[in-house]
């Protein structure tokens, strides 16, 4: 199980740093398509503009858009990326079994607490 002071394998950290840019690009591409739909929809141009402005303010907070790169935050960044839909469990297939087990433990615990 993950412990803050234990960390993960160096290979997991290197792989995370390698993959994060592509994950973010894919997530932002998805957001861009949503923005296009919003702007192309019916309604007043000013209403669409302000709705987009609100969306951008909120979306900038997501790890799929910007993330603080810190080895000690890596597990929490991955969990946030999963929660946001920026990545799936399949995107973690190249990571160590230890990291994947830890992610599963956190997500299983989260899903159990949602049901209570």
What would the pLDDT profile of 13-57 be if each residue is shown by its tens digit? Answer: 999 999 999 999 999 999 999 999 999 999 999 999 999 999 999
Picking from 84, 68, 75, the residue whose alpha carbon sits closest to that of residue 30 is 84
% of the chain surpassing 70 pLDDT: 88
Tokens of 93: 């297939």
Tokens representing 18 are 């390698």
With beta carbons less than 8 A apart as the criterion, state whether 13 and 96 touch.
no
Compute φ and ψ for 60, nearest 5 degrees.
-65, -20
Gap between the terminal Cα atoms of the chain: 24
Candidates 76, 38, 88; CA nearest to 59 is 38
CA triplet 17, 103, 75: central angle to 5 degrees? 40
Q: What is the largest CA-CA distance in the chain?
A: 54
> Can you tell me whether residue 1 is helix, strand or coil?
coil
Per-residue confidence at 111, pLDDT binned at 50, 70, 90?
low
């Amino acid at each position: 199980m993950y412990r803050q002071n234990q960390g993960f394998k160096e290979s997991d950290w290197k792989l995370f740093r390698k993959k994060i840019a592509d994950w973010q690009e894919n997530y932002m591409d998805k957001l861009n398509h949503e923005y296009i739909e919003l702007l192309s929809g019916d309604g007043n141009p000013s209403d669409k503009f302000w709705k987009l402005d609100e969306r951008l303010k909120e979306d900038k907070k997501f790890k799929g858009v910007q993330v603080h790169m810190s080895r000690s935050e890596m597990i929490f960044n991955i969990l946030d990326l999963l929660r946001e839909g920026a990545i799936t469990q399949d995107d973690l297939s190249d990571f160590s079994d230890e990291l994947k087990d830890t992610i599963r433990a956190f997500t299983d615990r989260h899903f159990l607490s949602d049901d209570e």
